Amino acid sequence: MRIEIENYRGWDILFNTDTEKFYVMSEDIDLGKDKPSFKSCKKFVDDYIKNNVDFKTFEVQRFGRYDRSPGVIKTVVGVRKDGRFVCVDEKGNIEQISDYETDNYIVVKESNKPIFEKMAKKLEEIGNINSSIKELSITIDREMLVDLKEKYKDFVF
């Protein structure tokens, strides 16, 4: 009788009570193997995936819901066993993107380039408008309430 122990990276690890051996199987690729230990089952799965998966690198950049401009482009070079993406930035620094951060990154696409250029122009316009507002606010004739405090000190209730 086979008892399911765990689903590891998409593979079922079972224990056969009749033979007292572990069995690892994948229904997706129709493959199964008897193994002497639980650890050797996991190693078999890891080795199989490493040898048979052809990972193609791709580029991502930070651009979350609240970001106004795209971040630095990073190249994703792999995926860890725990599902985190491993990436390299333009300086060659290796880092990982945590599960918490994955919704703040987008895949770099050529179709987004003109949109980001328009956004950059709009952000520049906003900066110019803010500068104009600041210059105008300096010219306001300001009589501050704090300055009037001394004048009206005798009118206290």
Q: What is the pLDDT of residues 28-83, one digit of tens each?
A: 777 888 899 999 999 998 888 877 777 788 999 988 777 777 788 899 988 887 78
Residue 141 phi, psi (nearest 5): -75, 105
76 Cβ neighbours under 8 A, 6+ residues apart: 57, 58, 59, 60, 85, 86, 87, 97
> What integer best gives the mean pLDDT of the chain?
87
Alpha-carbon Rg for the chain in angstroms: 30
Neighbours of 84 (CB within 10 A): 16
* Domain ranges within the chain, ordered by starting residue: 2-52, 58-108, 111-141
6 Cβ neighbours under 8 A, 6+ residues apart: 12, 13
* CATH topology classification for 58-108: SH3 type barrels. (2.30.30)
42 Cβ neighbours under 8 A, 6+ residues apart: 8, 13
Kindly report the pTM of this predicted structure: 0.56
Pick the residue with more confidence: 148 or 4?
4
In this structure, what token pair is assigned to residue 12? 């079922």
